[in-house]
Structure 1
Amino acid sequence: MENANQNAEIHPREEANTLSTGNGNDDQHRELVNSIKEMVESLEPPSLNNSSCCIYKIPTGIRKLNMEAYTPEVISIGPFHHGSKRLETMEKLKLKYFKRFLQRIAFKVEILVNEIKLHEERVRGCYAESIKLNSDDFVKLILVDGSFIIEFFYGLCSRGSQTAIHEDHILIDPISWQTMILDLQLLENQLPLFVIEILFGLACARRFEYRTFTSLAIDLFQRIHSRKLPQNLQVDARHFADLARTFLLPSSRKLVPRHESNLARADHLYTASQLYQAGVKFKVSSSKCLLDLKFTNGTLEIPCIKLYNSTETRYRNVIAFEQCHYPFESHFTDYIVLLSFLINTPKDVDLLIRKGIIINGFGSNNAVASLLNNLGTNVVYDGRNSAYCGLFEDLNAFYENPKHTWKATLKRDYFSTPWRIASTAAAGILLLLTLIQTICSIIQVVKMY
């Protein structure tokens, strides 16, 4: 009993010692615990409106392939490249445009500032990364950049504004003008269209021939891309990179439904040269939309692909935007992956140039093949979810049918030119005559016996 009592007395003491030791550990690691708490508390609260996010930094894996394709050369728009030493010269130009904007509209700056302040948080929410600028500097950036874009676009599009156009040519040399248009389509170099629309509505809508800024932007992009948007297409672009993507897509009625079956995959396709050897005919399509590919009765129709120095930059930024914002509607990415399968060597490029499908502004077939192969590098792509699953399936099935290969070989080797047709016919007649002569000889021999 005594031992039991002693044991009973020991347990509370041991428990107290254990608790004491625990408190000691708490004191020992208190600095680490506080550091972790501060780290967690310093995090920004999650955005309440994640759906508004639409302007992203380029993912590292994509950026490293060609950094220049994602970095503005002449002008910075928005906060991501604001303050770049390389672009300081254009900051002065933007201020000249801002002054011209204020003189044109004769509008109080206070009203513009108050309106932008009301929408500041919504604008900040459009960027995937937090903006380090304080409120006043951020609003100033929006006003200067937004008014510059309005003035610049209006000067290019307005039929009755010869003065503005003349001033643009004085302020901007032709080379910078072309580069600037490209800079305005970079994913990292954007202002949300809705905030430019607010400025336009407050100051310009009653004075300009365009009712909305979006209609002005569409007019300019139609001239840049030499393509009109379908009238029934509802344009809901969030910024210029999104609008550039819209011009590459079909209308909503013609969008190819993405394949939902797990049986079909768009992860293997024979090259253009291989398909041509198997009898596939290549024809330039009359469609102005790059994505309108059709394969019917052994003929693959592909819209004309015009490749110039600016093409890689435009395409790369559209692909990056789809990767970040449209992971399940990446129709242009699907198209680029298809081209990378179809065009693998300069031989494939040469074939499509001869068919009028590719217009090569690079001057080198190697450069075209390299470009189209590299555009899809490090891009997240699921062959089961491609818009072209059906096309992949049909083309591969055509190639793998021996009947088509035999027919193509016969036509290519014996009936491709008038001389070959004549030679084949002569050989056939000679063979027939030889056969007849042989039969006659055999008949004569048989009669003799």
Structure 2
Amino acid sequence: MVDKIFKKELVSWYLITLKLKETVRARIQQSSTPTGTTTTPSIEYPENHQQQSGIQLETGQNFEEEANKPPDHSAWVINIKEKLDQARRENTTSAWSKMCIYRVPQCLLKSDDKAYIPRTVSLGPYHHGRRDLRTMDRHKWRALHRVLKRTQHDISLYLDSIKEMEQHARACYEGTISLSSNEFVEMMVLDGCFILELFRGAIEGFKKLGYSRKDPIFAMRASMHSLQRDMIMLENQIPLFILDRLLGLENGNPDQRGLVAKLAIQFFDPLMPTDESLASSPLSLGYANFDPFADQVEFPLN
């Protein structure tokens, strides 16, 4: 009730203001009238401000209608449709469809992080630069140097080629990768060539690739066990198409596909459980009889 009285009083004051404005305007016109003519303004104040002319009454009605108008239902529906349209666009353009290398859920890390965190080598961006894994970096550089020396290639060939695939590679990882463009490409080339040297050395023989029998990484069985363990971890991966490109560049055929997958299957085959290994200790899995410098099976690379 109080609200209605307030609104009516507000309308009344509004109408009085209009009348006063008309009066002032009339007096201004009178003062500017040529000499010899007079104009007498007529001021009429309404006795009942609720009883006005048609225009004034209509103004008061519109004011009260706007004040009592319910929320616009159509605007609410439009807002919901805009949100649904945004969700549709996100599903269409989302990078989720390209993502294939995920992070381990926090609930699993809390229960047993040793099962998911690499202890010897970092591969890819998730654990890149970790202090306790930096020791292996110099061996990665040795592997890359060995590749370039063996193929007589310039490093620019590898950097420029992987640079073309950078955005595709970034999209494979969950979340934002904070590395700069140059840092990311360098990491892909360095880690990728290191992986390929391990694949090829374990199958063809590291001696054939040019490594010494006293090499602290490529000639040590214990090192190979640790590397294998880290290389199968979810967060420690390189996209397969990056490895395909790098191996293709080594062989002079950048567009080749499928060879890296065959190498990987042979490299990790000893980790596959068998009836005999299931009954034995987990420590017996892996390259139990692996000799990095024994004559290995010849694997065609062309």
Alignment of 1:168-207 (within 5 A): 169-171=215-217, 173-204=220-251
Tell me the residue number matched to 1:134. 180
Q: What secondary structure sits across from 1:161 in the alignment?
A: helix
In structure 2, distance between residues paired with 1:148 and 1:63: 27
The structure, 1 or 2, with the larger RCO (C-alpha pairs under 8 Å, 6+ apart) is 2
Corresponding residue SS for 2:101: coil
Work out the CA distance in 2 between the residues paired with 1:310 and 1:48. 44
Unmatched 5+ residue regions in structure 2?
1-47, 69-85, 287-302
Task: Give the letter for the 2:169 counterpart.
Answer: V
Aligned residues: 212
Using the TM superposition, give the Cα deviation of residue 180 of structure 1 relative to its aligned residue in structure 2, in angstroms: 1.3
TM-score by length of 1: 0.41
Aligned with residue 261 of structure 2, among 207, 214, 217: 214
Q: Distance in 2 between matches of 1:120 and 1:221?
A: 27
Q: 1:116 and 2:162 equivalent?
A: yes
Q: How far 1:164 moved relative to its partner?
A: 3.8
Contact residue 109 and residue 116 of structure 2 kept, 8 A: yes
Query: Aligned equivalents of 2:244 and 2:97: distance in 1?
Result: 19
Contact kept in structure 1, 2:244 and 2:258, CA below 8 Å: no
> Structure 1 residue aligned with 2:196, among 141, 150, 154?
150
Q: Which amino acid aligns with 1:185?
A: I
**Cα contact 1:155–1:168 (8 A) shared by 2:** no
Which one of the candidate residues 107, 114, 120 is aligned to 2:153?
107
Q: 1:307 to 1:170 in 2, by over 3 A?
A: closer
Q: Percent identity?
A: 29
Let me know the Cα RMSD of the aligned residues: 3.6
Structure 1 runs (4+) greater than 6 angstroms displaced: 14-18
Quote how far apart the aligned CAs of 1:49 are. Answer: 5.2
Unaligned 5+ runs, structure 1: 19-39, 226-246, 249-287, 291-302, 315-449
The CA deviation at 1:152 is: 2.1
Q: Partners of 1:14 and 1:310 in 2: how far apart? A: 87
CA 1:211–1:63: 2 relative to 1, 3 Å: closer
Shift of residue 170, structure 1, vs aligned partner: 3.1
Tell me if the contact between 1:47 and 1:125 (Cα under 8 Å) persists in the aligned partners: no
Specify which of 97, 107, 120 is matched with residue 61 of structure 1.
107
Residues 1:101 and 1:45: Cα distance change in structure 2 (over 3 Å): farther
* 1:303-348 Cα shifts (integer Å, max 9, x gaps): 944442598xx9xxxxxxxxxxxxxxxxxxxxxxxxxxxxxxxxxx
Select 2:282's aligned residue among 274, 299, 308: 308
Distance 1:160 1:69, change over 3 A: closer
Whole-angstrom distance in 2 between the partners of 1:181 and 1:16: 74
The aligned runs of 1:5-404 (5 Å cut-off) are 5=52, 8-10=58-60, 47-48=93-94, 50-159=96-205, 161-162=207-208, 164=210, 166=212, 169-171=215-217, 173-204=220-251, 212-222=259-269, 224-225=270-271, 247=272, 288=274, 304-308=278-282
Contact 1:182–1:310 (CA under 8 A) maintained in structure 2: no
Q: In the superposition, relative to structure 1, how do residues 289 and 194 fare at CA in structure 2: closer, same or farther (>3 Å)?
A: farther
Q: Looking at CA atoms only, which structure, 1 or 2, has the larger radius of gyration?
A: 2
Give, in whole Å, the separation in 2 of the partners of 1:164 and 1:62.
Answer: 41
Distance 1:137 1:15, change over 3 A: farther
CA distance in 1, matches of 2:265, 2:217: 24
More strand by share: 1
String of CA shifts for 1:84-113, please: whole Å, max 9, x gaps: 011111112111111111111111222222
CA–CA separation in structure 1 for the residues paired with 2:97 and 2:136: 32
